Amino acid sequence: MRLYDTDIASRLMLGTAQYPSPAVLAEAFRRSGAGIATVSVRREAGGAQAGAAFWDLVRDLGVKILPNTAGCHSVREAVTTAQMARELFDTAWIKLEVIGHADTLQPDPFGLVEAADILVRDGFEVFPYTTEDAVLADRLLSAGCRVLMPWGAPIGTGLGLTNIYALRTLRAQFPDVPMIVDAGMGLPSHAAMAMEMGFDAVLLNTAVARAGDPAAMAEGFARAVEAGRLAFGADPMQPRDMAAPSTPVIGKAFLE
Amino acid sequence: MQIMVNGTATEVQGETLASVLGELGYGDAKIATAVNGDFVPAAARDVPLAPGDRVEIVAPRQGG
């Protein structure tokens, strides 16, 4: 897939938080084949080398880095965080989060559009973490976003795709915009469903990091993403209410 | 003077962001900085600080 003029082989994107250890994180990435890793910026104490150690680990993964503005509740916070991330990680890519509610962590649509507009004009390549609202999507595209990242469910819930109708509508309205379902996935079947619906990729973290065996779950998600993408391209059958025999009726032996 | 560093009141001798970073042990650490909510690029850290300024110093971390 192509995101902001960059070709990415894998349609699975993984977060780097909450793993039991750096070694498990690295193994999960290796097994998943993910080509993009999300990271954050956080306060560093003087003399501490936590940032450097983590940076070494991430660099060794050999993947494209997507820094986020997680935890930012205002436009100003998000913009300043994005600027710091751009310098730290030497990338114009930014996963833009402007959080509107502390409990649901749902995006603030108004702040999101405002911040996206500022960042695009400042040369960023913005990946907005957004709701599945098609009008908001239109505003984000007008602001210059060339990728959209609608949520599947609130961050960390593992509920899967909670608004299939809106996601399907969003996909249909903007068929040429790369769209990544971001957040809320708990099982590979959720990712497969998103891919079957024609989404370009999925981004997840907790479902892998908090699994009993993160590396195995990462591989499970990778296979699900591939399966779902294959199905999307294969013109799936339409469901129907009446049974239809799969075995030919003609030539059946008459044995009454 | 006293400034805020990552939310903690801190007494510093230096007068610029660059000198304060050195003083506080950040040396050549992989960090990015903001003062009073505004990003300060690495190339512009010779900016003078005033008492009460809020300095934020961040580094790469895990994220989703």
pLDDT tens string B17-45: 999 999 999 988 999 999 999 999 999 99
What per-residue confidence (pLDDT) applies to A124?
A: 98
Residues in B touching A49 (Cβ below 8 Å): 29
Asked if the C-beta of B59 comes within 8 angstroms of chain A's C-beta atoms, the answer is yes
Is A247 assigned to a binding site? no
The partner residue sitting opposite A80, judged by closest CB among B7, B31, B34, is B34
Look at A51 and B60 and tell me if their CB atoms are within 8 Å.
yes
**Whether residue A252 lies in the annotated active site:** no
Interface test with A, best of B10, B11, B61 (most A CBs within 10 A): B61
What per-residue confidence (pLDDT) applies to B28?
A: 85
What per-residue confidence (pLDDT) applies to A50?
A: 87
What per-residue confidence (pLDDT) applies to A162?
A: 97
Q: What is the dihedral of CA A21, A26, A30, A32, to 10 degrees?
A: 60
What per-residue confidence (pLDDT) applies to A48?
A: 79
Share the mean pLDDT of chain A.
Answer: 96
Query: Helices A22-32 and A50-61: crossing angle, nearest 10°?
Result: 20
Look at A87 and B41 and tell me if their CB atoms are within 8 Å.
yes
Q: pLDDT tens across A143-183, in order? A: 999 999 999 999 999 999 999 999 999 999 999 999 999 99
The partner residue sitting opposite A84, judged by closest CB among B6, B34, B64, is B34
- Classified as helix, coil or strand, A235 is coil
- CA atoms of A196 and A203, how far apart (whole Å): 15
In angstroms, the Cα distances linking A220 to A187, A223, B3 are: 9, 5, 50
Low-confidence ranges of chain A (pLDDT < 50): none
| Interface A-B: count of C-beta contacts within 8 A | 112
Cβ pair A131, A109 in contact under 8 A: yes
From the list A31, A86, A95, A171, the catalytic residue is: A95
Grade residue B5 by pLDDT with cuts at 50, 70 and 90.
very high
Look at B60 and A18 and tell me if their CB atoms are within 8 Å.
no
- CA atoms of A247 and A205, how far apart (whole Å): 43
